[in-house]
Amino acid sequence: MEQEKLPNITLAIVLAILSYICCCFGGLPGAIIAGIAFFLIKNDEKKYIENPEGYSNYSQLKT
């Protein structure tokens, strides 16, 4: 069976970096963006737990 990549990891990493930058300069927008990134990561983590053999980039999720 071919392994897939978890779909939202790249977007979540970009949002996490953006939220860090926004927290330094603005505060609230950074917290909102971080919440969205956290939600995306939790959804991908649930998908991985359901089928660990089906996904190949779990280590990138833990980053």
Residue 60 belongs to some domain of the structure: no
Range of the domain at 41: 9-55
What's the total number of domains in the chain?
Answer: 1
Residue 49 belongs to some domain of the structure: yes
Residue 51 belongs to some domain of the structure: yes
For residue 49 the two structure tokens come to: 């737990």
Residue 61 belongs to some domain of the structure: no
Residue 3 belongs to some domain of the structure: no
Is 70 exceeded by the pLDDT of residue 1?
no
- How far is residue 31's CA from residue 50's CA, in Å, rounded to a whole number? 29
pLDDT of residue 24: 85
Burial class (CB in 10 A: 0-12, 13-18, 19+), 40: buried
Residue 47 belongs to some domain of the structure: yes
Residue 31 belongs to some domain of the structure: yes
The 3-state DSSP class for residue 63 equals coil
Q: What is the pTM of this model?
A: 0.85
pLDDT tens, position by position, 5-49: 999 999 999 999 999 999 888 788 999 999 999 999 999 999 999
Residue 17 belongs to some domain of the structure: yes
